Amino acid sequence: MTIIKCLLFAKVKEVINKGEYIEIELPDTECTTNNLLKHINEQYPQVKDVLSTCLLAINLEFLKRDEDRVIQSTDEVAIIPPVSGG
């Protein structure tokens, strides 16, 4: 199994209510961002609605919506809700 650490912010952090990050275990053969999202939705069903409005960032770069990418335990993965800075 591979453990992926996911950084949480703003509304996603509030809804999941587990602190600054969660760790999700993925089978080594299924270590992709789509599977990560699937596991998060299964483990934290309360976040499903807000998660559908979020983008993922891998190592400080946005992933395109619906892009699926292979990830490793060393990647910095973050869930980015719609931003509202400024």
Partner 1 sequence: MRYVLISHEKIDIESCINKVKSDSAGAISSFIGTTRDEFNGKKVIKLEYEAYESMALSEINKVCDTIESKYNDIKHIVIIHRIGDVPVGESSIVIFISSAHRSSSLEAVHYAIDTIKSIAPIWKKEYYSDGSIWKGNCESCHYH
* Count of residues touching partner 1 (by CB under 8 A): 20
Q: Quick count: other Cβ atoms within 10 Å of Cβ 68? A: 13
Nearest in space to 81 (alpha carbons), one of 11, 22, 33, 34 = 11
Of all helices (H) and strands (E), which one includes residue 41?
A: helix 33-43
Closer CB to partner 1, 26 or 54, in the complex = 54
Within 20-79, which residues bind partner 1 (CB under 8 A)? 53-55, 57, 60, 62, 65, 78
Which residues of the shown chain bind partner 1 in the complex (CB under 8 A)? 7, 9-11, 14, 53-55, 57, 60, 62, 65, 78, 80-86
